[in-house]
């Protein structure tokens, strides 16, 4: 091979991507062992690593097609398969055909989202559809909150989980705009930021950190598309060089 990029500086972002993949793998192992809290925080670690690899590649000026494909494969494990394993294990005592169908829908939607992004990256300053990292963290943290509050066996909360995963599956394959956190100016998004801060403090005080974080993500999912549209291109400064792993602003 003439271009041995794996012996060049291109290896640095690829190594970070591999760590993302490894974090997702260990999240699956911990979820199947019943260590749900560690499994969710490993998905969060994978999210951080996934945000770093694109930045490192741009710093060294060596973003490659290989790196983008590798990033997509790592994202599939960390942000699609791992949350599905978490959902299946947490809800296994009350697992039904409907719950299993919803988990499969999330799995399929996540794979579709990543494949679509590979051929149709960020354009016009926003992502088309909800990026997989935000989808994974919303589902995982909400499921963890259910577990921490002992809600996972309550029929009403099981129905809520089914609805949530169905809605997020739709958002991933939709063309609803979601902004990219690293490019959004704070003065544009400060009202949403302060709303999320208020929700986080309120739910942390009355429940726990997991519930507070899940509510923050849920608020973002519900409000951000309308806010982005109302602000008439608040995400217009987003570069097309971003990767699907970049977390939307919160």
Which CATH number fits the domain that encloses residue 81? 1.20.120
Residue 237 included in any domain: no
Alpha helices, DSSP H, located in 120-208: 132-148, 155-173, 186-206
Spatial CA neighbour of 245 closest among 92, 100, 135: 135
Higher-scoring residue by pLDDT: 106, 241: 106
Residue 241 included in any domain: no
By the 8 A CB rule, do 32 and 86 touch? no
What is the mean predicted confidence (pLDDT) over 188-215?
83
Average pLDDT, the chain: 81
Percent of the chain with pLDDT over 90: 36
Round to whole Å and give the CA distance between 241 and 40. Answer: 28
> Each residue of 232-243: pLDDT tens digit?
544 544 433 344
Residue 245 included in any domain: no
What is the mean predicted confidence (pLDDT) over 133-138?
94
> Count of domains in the chain?
1
Residue 167 has a pLDDT of: 94
Residue 128 has a pLDDT of: 83
CB within 8 A of 184, min separation 6: which ones? Answer: 234, 235, 237, 238, 249
Residue 239 included in any domain: no
Other CB atoms within a 10 A radius of the CB of residue 79 amount to 31
Residue 247 φ then ψ, to 5° = -75, 135
By the 8 A CB rule, do 160 and 99 touch? no
Residue 23 included in any domain: yes
Residue 243 included in any domain: no
Q: What is the pTM of this model?
A: 0.82
Confidence of residue 122 (pLDDT cuts 50, 70, 90): low
Q: Which residue range forms the structural domain that includes residue 146?
A: 5-230
């Amino acid at each position: 091979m003439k271009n041995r990029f794996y012996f060049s500086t291109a290896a640095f972002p690829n190594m970070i991507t591999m760590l993302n993949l490894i974090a997702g793998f260990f999240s699956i192992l911990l979820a199947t062992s019943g260590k749900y809290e560690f499994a969710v925080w490993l998905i969060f670690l994978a999210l951080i690593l996934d945000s770093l690899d694109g930045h490192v590649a741009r710093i060294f000026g060596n973003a490659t097609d290989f790196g983008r494909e590798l990033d997509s494969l790592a994202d599939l494990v960390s942000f699609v398969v791992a949350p599905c394993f978490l959902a299946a294990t947490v809800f296994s005592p009350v697992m039904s055909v409907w719950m299993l169908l919803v988990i499969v829908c999330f799995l399929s939607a996540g794979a579709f989202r990543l494949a679509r992004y590979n051929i149709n990256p960020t354009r016009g300053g926003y992502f088309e559809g909800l990026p997989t990292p935000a989808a994974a963290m919303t589902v995982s943290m909400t499921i963890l909150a259910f577990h921490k509050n002992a809600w996972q066996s309550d029929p009403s909360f099981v129905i809520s989980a089914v609805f949530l995963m169905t809605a997020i599956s739709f958002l991933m394959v939709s063309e609803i705009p979601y902004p990219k956190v690293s490019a959004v100016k704070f003065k544009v998004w400060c009202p949403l930021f302060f709303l999320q801060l208020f929700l986080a403090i309120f739910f942390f005080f009355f429940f726990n950190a997991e519930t507070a974080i899940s509510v923050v993500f849920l608020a973002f999912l519900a409000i951000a598309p309308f806010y982005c549209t109302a602000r008439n291109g608040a995400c217009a400064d987003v570069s097309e060089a971003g990767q699907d792993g970049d977390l939307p602003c919160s």
